[in-house]
Amino acid sequence: MGFFGNRTDGHTHDGTGDSRKGFVDVIKYDGLNDELIWKFPYENISAGAQLIVNQSQEAIFLKGGIVCDVFGPGTSTLSANNIPILQKLINLPFGGRTPFTAEVWFINKTVKRNLKWGTKTPIKLRDPLWGIIIPVRSYGEYGIQVTDSSVFLNQIVGTQHITSTEDIVEQFKALVLTKVTDSISKYIVDKKVSVIDLPAQLDEISFLCKNRILEEFALYGISISNFYISSINYPDDDKGVQQINQAIANRMQRNIEGFTYQQERSFDVMQTAAGNEGTVANVMGAGIGLGMGVGVGSVFGNQIGNIGSVMAPSNAPPLPPPPAMQFHILVNNAQQGPFDSAQLSQLIQSGQVTRDTLVWRLGMQQWGKAGECPDLSALFVVSSTPPPPPQMN
């Protein structure tokens, strides 16, 4: 698709040879339908000539680089009456067929869609969640429409009679790619979205890019009718992408099995100790064999942790303390928490949590009653202290 009507015979649109001898009586668009701007071949015009402007077009008269007038669709008879500035510029008398010279440019104001854009080289983006730089490619399409013919003519064409389509496309391509890169970078930082998850956000990012590009195109008298990002992709074999995918897979596996990264590291240390010969190996191996750390009470976990710290070799790294169990509770159909055991004890004493209150913690398959949870049942033990004796008369 061309922005400008380029001649194939090597001539400019100003006309050559015999075409300059007479004066034009009819001025009309004779370019291709898909061109955005087309210059009438001749400047030697007769006053009283007929100007024919088709639908979705505008005709601009220039004299000495000054816009004399802009005509919309329809047929007009040129005279000092409908182009008053001509009378001032060239002393064009009212009435008659006095000749004059002026440039006439036709602007096509239809929407031009399916303009392609894409990244020639990958965009280097730092993932805000993982801190890893990922090479990203993106491509899509957009549509434009000339909204201010005078601004478009002055900013795009200037004093050049012929401008190559390739130059204009390259100029806008650089603008589009710059704004797309800035918009994607700003989006992942503001939204804290991983680069890996960008393909699921195409609509929202497209809308953001369109608004930012729209401001720049307005400087050229052009509006953006549509802007789409068709794809945001990254190479699966990139080391950074593989690192993130592996980290996500590990985290999902821990969520399924019901323990945290810290607990997993503790299990690794304990399993290493269990592989050593001697009493420590027997004790630690027995603990692991019983499924220690997965769904066990905090008291038993503390005891095992103490045994490991006392009996472990002096050169072994200290074991981290077991994480306190965190419970979520359901009160008045609203989820609250997480709370540790001490906080839940206070809620039980105040009557906000009862035996029938539903609770859940990591490792539980589903919600259960607090009074039936082994880790909380001790908190509901009725005090063995007898009430005060009755007063004797």
Amino acid at 175: L
Residue 208: per-residue pLDDT: 93
- Measure the CA–CA gap between 226 and 349, rounded to whole angstroms: 62
Distance (Å, whole) CA 3 – CA 35: 5
The token pair at 138 is 């993106």
The answer for 74, left when phi > 0, alpha when psi is -120 to 50, beta otherwise, is left
Are 95 and 111 in contact by the 8 Å Cβ rule? The answer is no
pLDDT values of the chain reduced to their tens digit, one per residue, 393 residues: 444 444 433 333 344 444 445 577 899 998 777 778 888 988 888 777 899 999 989 999 888 778 888 899 999 888 766 666 666 555 555 455 567 788 899 988 888 888 889 988 898 898 888 888 889 999 999 988 889 988 888 887 654 544 445 566 677 888 899 899 999 999 998 999 888 889 889 999 999 999 999 988 899 888 998 999 999 998 888 888 888 888 878 777 767 666 555 555 555 555 555 555 554 444 444 444 444 444 444 444 454 445 444 444 455 556 555 566 788 888 887 888 888 888 888 888 888 889 889 988 887 878 888 888 888 878 887 544 556 666 665
Euclidean distance between CA atoms 213 and 288, whole angstroms: 60
d(CA 168, CA 158): 13
86 alpha-carbon distance from chain centroid: 51
Residue 4 is predicted with a pLDDT of 43
| CA–CA distance, 47 with 94 (Å, rounded to integer) | 9
Question: What pLDDT score was predicted for residue 20?
Answer: 43
Query: Distance between CA atoms of 30 and 68, rounded to whole angstroms?
Result: 22
Angle at 100 between CA 10 and CA 92, to 5 degrees: 160
- pLDDT for 153 equals 85
